[in-house]
Each structure stands twice: as structure tokens, then as C-alpha cells.
């Protein structure tokens, strides 16, 4: 349990020379998340941080928002095989007494996945109606301000923390930083959304939500679901080393999220929330 890499034989061809040797690959296994004993979702993930992943997923779903709302998370013994063996691929999340349990059916609409059947205004409305915290700067929490110089240094700091990527080259990463550039936490996973859920779930279990004074950096693109996860966790700044999607920009603009894409060295595109970057003066909108 918890093994994040596996070895497989590979034939390597380099400059015409052929060799046969073992290669280190990132592990990928399904994780079934149950809520109060009922199946809720299945995600393909890198084993490890499974409890944080499940908790973070439920934050994104609007089910959890505080540590005291979570009663327990346990692995289900013998869930997929006989003999009572624990497969470590099924977890059951139990909510605390009094926490509303969402209606779980085979036709439930889960807007955290690209296959949910929701799009456009329906997706934006779903996040707006379930988000617990406002990202507007008139909230009681002092607004986050970050310089473009600090922001430009974050990808290298996150890359330095990617230990499994160094061995496999096959993982996405997500990092949580202070506005001053200090790395608070980082997670790796085959799924970029899982890496973010692991960050948020760990913060929930530590009683640190909302993450109103932090910056979230992801190693790939900024999809709608990643912007949604940032909003649901109360994170005011989301930066990505690659491109955002159009719906991610729409959600960021509506929710008050600062969204930065193509963060590479001193270059970046600021799509929304320019006011949080202290060195940026917004020009005329086209």
C-alpha cells in the first residue's frame, strides 16, 4: 500500500543501440470513494494520500468545509476481493452527525468531472450556489497581494519538490504557497485534479480551510475543474504553467479568482484578478 512507483521491462533504443532494462513508472490504480457506506465516485490516482484525496474531493463537491464535519475516513477491508484482504483501493468517508448527506443516485450530477454533462452557465451556477467562501476583497480576511517576481519563481520551487517526477517523468504536481513564495505543501499524482484534491483535503483535515491567504500552482493547464476546486477551498489565486480553458476564465471572473496562465520564467498571462498582482497595471480590455 502506498507504493507510488512500479518497475516494468522496456526496450531502449539510443543512437541505434538496443538495450533491455527495467524502467521506473508511476503507479496508477482506481480509488473508489464511498460516502457513509454508499458508492460515490471512482478516480484513477497514484496510491498515497488517499484520505486527503477523498476529503478534498468532498470539499470540491460542496459536502465538506470544516474538519469537524468529517467523522472518519477508513479503508474498506475486503471490498473488492475475498478473504477479508484490504485492497486499499476503496475508502469510506463518514460525515459527522448533522452534516447533510447529498442525494447519491446513479444519475447524480457531479460537476467536478469533465463527463458530468454540465457545461457553461449550469457549471458556473453550480459552483456559485455551493461555494462557502467569497473571494471578494471586501471579506474579513486581508486581501492577498503577490508580486509578479515572486509568482515567476514558484514553478521552480514546485519542480524542486517533485521527487517522484524525477524518477518517472509521469506525474502532475500542485503546490500551495504563501503570497511571499513559501511552499506550504505539495502533492503529485497522475491526475492533476487528484493532486489538488490531496492538497485541499489535507488542509481540511488540519482545520485550515478556507485557504484565503494562499496561492495554488498547478504544473499543467488550468481547467474549469481546477478553478472550481480553488474557489471551493477559498483560494484567491490560481496559477498554471500552461493554458486555461475558456470556462475556467469565465468562472474565475465571476468568482473573483485571480487566474494566471503560461507562467514560465518572467512571462505570464493574467486572465482575471489583475488587482492582486502588485506590479501589474491593467490595460484597456479588448
Report CA dihedral (138, 268, 53, 85) to the nearest 10 degrees: 180
The C-alpha atoms of residue 176 and residue 235 are separated, in whole angstroms, by 9
Distances (CA, A) of 20 to 5, 9, 206, 261: 19, 7, 46, 40
Cis peptide before 77 (omega within 30 of 0): no
Is residue 237 within 8 A of residue 215, CB to CB? The reply is yes
Going by C-alpha positions, the residue among 28, 23, 1 that lies closest to residue 10 is 23
The C-alpha atoms of residue 273 and residue 280 are separated, in whole angstroms, by 10
Residue of 76, 116, 119, 136 marked catalytic: 116
User: Ramachandran region of residue 241, left (φ > 0), alpha (ψ -120 to 50) or beta?
Assistant: alpha
Residue 119 catalytic?
A: no
Residues forming the active site: 116
Amino acid at each position: 500500500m502506498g507504493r507510488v512507483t512500479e518497475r516494468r521491462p522496456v526496450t531502449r533504443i539510443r543512437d541505434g543501440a538496443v538495450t533491455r532494462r527495467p524502467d521506473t513508472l508511476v503507479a496508477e490504480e482506481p480509488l473508489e470513494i464511498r460516502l457513509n457506506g454508499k458508492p460515490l465516485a471512482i478516480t484513477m490516482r497514484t496510491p498515497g494520500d488517499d484520505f486527503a484525496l477523498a476529503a478534498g474531493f468532498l470539499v470540491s463537491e460542496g459536502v465538506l468545509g470544516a474538519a469537524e464535519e468529517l467523522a472518519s475516513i477508513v479503508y474498506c477491508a475486503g471490498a473488492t476481493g475475498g478473504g477479508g484482504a484490504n485492497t486499499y483501493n476503496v475508502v469510506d468517508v463518514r460525515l459527522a452527525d448533522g452534516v447533510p448527506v447529498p442525494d447519491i443516485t446513479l444519475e447524480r450530477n457531479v460537476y467536478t468531472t469533465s463527463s458530468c454533462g454540465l457545461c457553461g452557465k449550469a457549471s458556473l451556477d453550480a459552483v456559485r450556489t455551493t461555494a462557502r467562501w467569497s473571494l471578494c476583497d471586501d471579506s474579513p480576511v486581508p486581501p492577498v497581494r503577490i508580486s509578479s517576481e515572486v509568482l515567476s519563481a514558484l514553478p521552480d520551487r514546485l519542480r524542486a519538490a517533485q521527487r517522484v517526477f524525477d524518477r518517472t517523468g509521469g506525474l502532475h504536481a500542485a503546490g500551495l504557497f504563501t503570497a511571499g513564495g513559501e511552499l506550504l505543501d505539495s502533492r503529485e499524482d497522475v491526475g492533476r485534479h487528484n493532486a489538488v484534491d490531496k492538497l485541499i483535503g489535507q488542509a481540511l483535515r488540519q482545520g485550515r480551510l478556507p485557504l484565503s491567504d494562499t496561492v495554488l500552482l498547478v504544473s499543467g493547464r488550468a481547467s474549469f475543474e481546477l478553478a472550481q476546486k480553488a474557489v471551493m477551498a477559498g483560494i484567491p489565486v490560481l496559477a498554471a504553467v500552461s493554458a486555461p480553458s475558456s470556462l475556467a476564465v469565465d468562472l474565475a471572473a465571476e468568482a473573483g479568482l485571480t487566474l494566471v496562465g503560461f507562467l514560465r520564467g518572467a512571462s505570464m498571462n493574467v486572465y482575471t484578478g489583475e488587482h492582486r498582482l502588485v506590479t501589474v497595471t491593467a490595460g484597456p480590455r479588448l
